[in-house]
Amino acid sequence: MVGADGLHSRVRALTFGAQERFERYLGIVVAVFDVAGYRPRGELTAVMHADVGFQMLRVSLRDDVTMFCATVRDDGGAPPECPAEQQALLRRRLATAGWETPAILDAMASARTFYFDRASQIRMPSWTRGRVALVGDAAACPSLLAGQGSALAMVETYVLAAEPARANGDHARAFARYEACLGPLLRSKQDAARGLGVAFAPRTRLALAARNTVMRLLGLPHVPDLVMGRSFRDAVELPALPAA
């Protein structure tokens, strides 16, 4: 059985134990919501604004809809479960925030959709037990800070699909190879992502200044490839899928 049920995996909880054992909260909450008719608006444009403790992303979608993504530092206890309390937390944390933030928080009340969660990683010594295996965020969520969770989930799924045939149906051998093939890569992605909180919600003025300088440099030709190119190219040897 494969658990592919995300960061808050029930399969993980039922097979390996409570989420708290494996979840590493990164001190940032994320909210994503979309609003019709928000102004200002730039067609096909994404605008980012960051200040100490948060970043707000505004993305213009089609049909006069605007999507917002707020990443907000919150070192407090467990974030609230219900949308009303989650929105109240955002209003508290962003009460003195400048730029368009007050207007965005007003618009949030009439959001068409609203997503809220902790930015967390899932760190497990092993993602398989008996005949159960986990993939994707259920197994080794790197958090949204990594920006690669979907790609990694697909690679994990590919390897998990290929290994049983190579092991002649011996699931224990296949699971061992699955973990050996991807364990180091996933752990390195998780380690790297932990350092990226500064970009999504800088803690101090100094961190904010460093973030803004890096962001400006990334607008120059060739700089993104030089700085980040290597982190998006991974030399992973994938097993061949069996012939259909």
Give the separation between CA 206 and CA 78, rounded to whole angstroms.
28
Residue partners of 58: CB distance under 8 A and separation at least 6: 38, 46, 47, 48, 49, 66, 67, 68, 100, 104
Identity of the residue, 150 or 204, whose beta carbon is nearer to ligand FAD in the bound complex: 150
Identity of the residue, 167 or 196, whose beta carbon is nearer to ligand FAD in the bound complex: 196
Please count the other Cβ atoms lying within 10 Å of the Cβ belonging to residue 180. Answer: 11
> Shortest Cβ distance from residue 218 to ligand FAD (Å)?
16
> Shortest Cβ distance from residue 143 to ligand FAD (Å)?
8
> Shortest Cβ distance from residue 206 to ligand FAD (Å)?
26
Identity of the residue, 144 or 181, whose beta carbon is nearer to ligand FAD in the bound complex: 144
Identity of the residue, 34 or 137, whose beta carbon is nearer to ligand FAD in the bound complex: 137
Check if the beta carbon of residue 134 is closer than 8 Å to that of residue 2. yes
Identity of the residue, 138 or 208, whose beta carbon is nearer to ligand FAD in the bound complex: 138
Residue 236: which of 186, 165, 164, 168 has the closest Cα? 186
Residues that bind ligand FAD (CB under 6 A): 4-6, 10, 30, 32, 69, 136-138, 144, 147-151, 153
> Shortest Cβ distance from residue 135 to ligand FAD (Å)?
6
Encoded tokens for 137:
């965020």
> Shortest Cβ distance from residue 221 to ligand FAD (Å)?
23
- Give, for 117, the enclosing helix (H) or strand (E): strand 113-122
